[in-house]
């Protein structure tokens, strides 16, 4: 009896974690693909801000931004079409799922850009550490965009549990992914 209850709790927690990762996956995909596909012309075109420091720095490129958004959106579309089959939450119907996916992908990379902007203002060089923001920049960006541009879907789909799980799991996953990125030579530093 007690064991049955325990197993039930375990399964529902595991499902909640999977569901949370599923919902944030397009943001993860955009952020990771920006690292894999990035390079070339920087978003700030090499320009400096009023403080004579770079606006974003060489770590934020157009290729990373555009291909990150494209890849994250493709992943999100694949998820949308498979969500019915595996009975997982979807990103909505056509065409509104494009707004949701725009928030998840562009919002994520916008958060990443904002973080780099803050780092440059704090005199932190490209690749230098900024704890918490380095790990949560893209999740915060995605949430912010969802609240602003897709509040109905966001409130209907996300529970406080999903949000807490994402905020806790992301720094852990981020750490793992960055070590992988560093090993394959896509990141200069393992964070």
Measured from the CB atom, is 59 or 107 closer to ligand CTP?
59
**Of residues 39-78, those binding ligand CTP (CB under 6 A):** 39, 57, 59-61, 64-65
* Separation CA 36–CA 181 (nearest Å): 8
**What secondary structure does DSSP assign to 129-185, as a single string?**
--TTHHHHHHHHHHHHHHHHH-HHHHHHH--HHHHHHHHHHHHHHHHHHHHHHHHTT
CB of 82 to ligand CTP, least distance (A): 27
Applying CB under 6 A, among 133, 167, 180, 187 the residue interacting with ligand CTP is: 187
* Separation CA 53–CA 119 (nearest Å): 10
CB of 146 to ligand CTP, least distance (A): 20
Angle between helices 96-121 and 2-37 (to 10 degrees): 70
Measured from the CB atom, is 16 or 144 closer to ligand CTP?
144
For tokens 């700030």, the residue is 44
- Interface with ligand CTP, residue 171, by CB under 6 A: no
- Interface with ligand CTP, residue 166, by CB under 6 A: no
Q: Which residues bind ligand CTP (CB under 6 A)?
A: 34-35, 38-39, 57, 59-61, 64-65, 109, 112, 116, 119, 126-128, 187
């Amino acid at each position: 009896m007690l064991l049955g209850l325990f197993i039930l709790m375990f399964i529902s927690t595991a499902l909640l974690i999977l569901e949370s990762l599923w919902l944030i996956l397009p943001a993860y995909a955009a952020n990771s693909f920006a690292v894999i596909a990035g390079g070339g012309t920087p978003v700030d075109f090499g320009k400096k801000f009023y403080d004579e420091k770079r606006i974003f720095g060489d770590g934020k490129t157009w290729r990373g931004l555009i291909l990150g958004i494209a890849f994250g959106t493709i992943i999100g579309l694949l998820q949308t079409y498979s969500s019915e089959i595996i009975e997982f939450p979807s990103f909505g119907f056509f065409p509104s799922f494009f707004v949701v996916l725009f928030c998840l992908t562009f919002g994520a990379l916008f958060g990443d850009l904002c973080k780099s902007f803050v780092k440059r203002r704090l005199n932190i060089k490209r690749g230098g550490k900024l704890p918490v923001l380095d790990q949560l920049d893209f999740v915060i960006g995605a949430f912010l965009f969802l609240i602003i541009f897709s509040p109905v879907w966001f409130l209907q789909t996300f529970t406080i549990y999903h949000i807490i799980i994402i905020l806790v799991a992301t720094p852990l996953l981020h750490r793992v992914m960055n070590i992988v990125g560093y090993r394959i030579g896509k990141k200069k530093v393992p964070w």
